[in-house]
Amino acid sequence: MSANSRLTIAAHALAWIGLYQRQGHEVATSEQIATSANTNPVVIRRLLGELRRAGLVESRRGVGAGWSLARELESITLLDVYEAVEPGPLFAMHRTTPDQGCVVGRGIQPTMQGIYEGIEETLRHELARVTLENVLRDVLAAPR
């Protein structure tokens, strides 16, 4: 399928902010996070903007501006992040409506929709089991 890396980058940013704050800093800038993630600051600002709308982070403007966590890492799960940055469903239906004069064409969409909903529910459950605290701890446990 080759999906997008939005969830990965968002988790990276949150872990980075969390660690930075534990080192005594108040706010992190999109510039710093972009350097760590090796991407453009605007990409980070866009992603963090979505996380802010979801109530996961806060931003401050003006001099000494930047980003800070709105909730503890322990209370943020990958599901929170996933829902904040991934809008659509995992699997898509036909791009055009199937032939409604055909039995299969008529019934296939409700059928697949039902199956997909169940699968996405399972996916959400799995994502909810991992907190950003888990992620950061695992990151810091890496060799060296």
Partner DNA sequence: CGCAGTCGTAACAGTGAATGTTGCAACAGC
Partner DNA sequence: GCTGTTGCAACATTCACTGTTACGACTGCG
Distance CA 29, CA 70 (A): 15
Select the binding partner of residue 107 from DNA, its own copies, none (C-beta < 5 to 8 A, by kind).
its own copies
Q: Does 110 bind DNA (CB under 7 A)?
A: no
Question: Which position among 55, 60, 97, 117 is part of the footprint of its own copies (CB under 8 A)?
Answer: 97
Segment contacting DNA by CB under 7 A, of 62-70, 74-82, 114-122, 126-134: 62-70
Distance CA 7, CA 12 (A): 9
Select the binding partner of residue 43 from DNA, its own copies, none (C-beta < 5 to 8 A, by kind).
DNA
Distance CA 61, CA 66 (A): 7
Radius of gyration of the chain (CA): 19
Q: Is 64 left (phi over 0), alpha (psi -120 to 50) or beta?
A: left
| Sites of contact with its own copies (CB under 8 A) | 1-9, 11-12, 15-16, 19, 35-39, 78, 86-99, 102-108, 110-112, 114-115, 118-119, 122-123, 126-127, 130, 135-136, 138-142, 144
